[in-house]
Amino acid sequence: MKLFAQIKHLLYKEILLEWRSKYAFNGILLYVVSTVFVCYLSFRSTPPLVWNALFWIILLFAAINAIAKSFMQESKGRLLYYYQIASPQAIIIAKIIYNALLMTLMSAVALVVYSIVFQNNVGDWLLYALAVLIGAISFSSVFTMISAIASKANNNGTLMAILSFPVIIPVIILIIKLSKNAMDGLDRSVSWDEIGVLTAINFIVVTVSLLLFPYLWRD
């Protein structure tokens, strides 16, 4: 129970901090919208395959930029303070949940803007939205741990990209396939495999993060 209380407090604090400055949210929002617009200006109209891939690439970079900050922006003093009041598990779970919320919001906005600017036919909007939701959650669960690792290693932005790309590629492959199924309006039973594997990956990644973060935290 204590863990849940801690998670709730930390989550509340993250959201409050974000609400006050709105820095991350506005920054990423601007980033996504301007990238979508740049893509629109350079492509005008795209075949469905490119439309889908482009959307995920935009989201991927937005996610890296957003989540890389989650540990790097914390000052040393504040980290020390957390160390005393909360268990490491609570911290990583709170971060993952917060990032997942942020990413869900971001990708929802991105999806709306993207589909208004770029005309395209999506066969099964519900499944596509589900793919975007799963994508947002997967990105945040994978990147949160990587950003924790990268923040311990000299706060290096390049390192974050190097470490996270090979890890995120299997997720991206599956998500692109899932959302392509949604675009083609295939029967939903076709997509169960991808949804299952993505859920399994998320589950494994969160479990491994929970097991490993205490070691990373203890310094």
Partner 1 sequence: MSKNWWKVLASVFVLYSVVAGLLFKVPTLPILHESIRNLYYHVPMWFAMVVIYSVAVYYSIRYLQTGDENHDLVAVEAVNTGLVFGLVGLASGMVWANYTWGAPWPNDPKLNSAAIATLLYFAYTVLRSSLDEEQKRAKIAAIYNIFAYPIMVVLLFVLPRLTDSLHPGNGGNPGFGAYDLDSNMRFVFYPAVLGWIGIAVWIVNIRYRIRKIENKRNQI
Which residues contribute to the site for partner 1 (CB under 8 A)? 145-146, 149, 152-154, 156, 159, 162-163, 165-167, 169-170, 173-174, 177, 193-194, 197, 200-201, 204-205, 208-209, 212, 215-216
Q: Which is nearer to partner 1, 5 or 162 (CB)?
A: 162
Minimum Å distance from CB 132 to partner 1? 20
Residue whose structure tokens are 């990587």: 146
Name which of 49, 178, 187, 184 is nearest 123 in CA terms: 184
117 or 190, CB closer to partner 1?
190
Residue 208 CB, nearest approach to partner 1 (Å)? 6
**Residue 179 Cβ, how far from partner 1 at the closest point, in Å?**
15
**φ, ψ of residue 185 in degrees (nearest 5):** 65, 35
Tell me the one-letter amino acid at 29: L
Q: What is the DSSP letter of 185?
A: T
Give the three-state DSSP class for 155: coil
CA angle 99, 53, 148 (to 5 degrees): 25
Note whether 103 and 139 are within 8 A (CB): yes
Q: Residue 99 contacts by C-beta under 8 Å, 6 or more apart in sequence?
A: 66, 67, 70, 140, 143, 144
Q: How far is the CB of 76 from partner 1 (least distance, A)?
A: 15
Helix (H), strand (E) at residue 119: none
C-beta of 37 vs 157, nearer to partner 1 = 157
Question: Minimum CB separation from partner 1 for residue 38, in Å?
Answer: 28
**Overall size of the chain counted in residues:** 219
Closer Cβ to partner 1, 30 or 153, answer by number: 153
Nearest alpha carbon to residue 127 among 210, 79, 184: 184
Q: Which is nearer to partner 1, 133 or 159 (CB)?
A: 159
| Smallest distance from partner 1 to CB 163, Å | 5
Which lies closer to partner 1 via its Cβ, residue 33 or residue 197?
Answer: 197
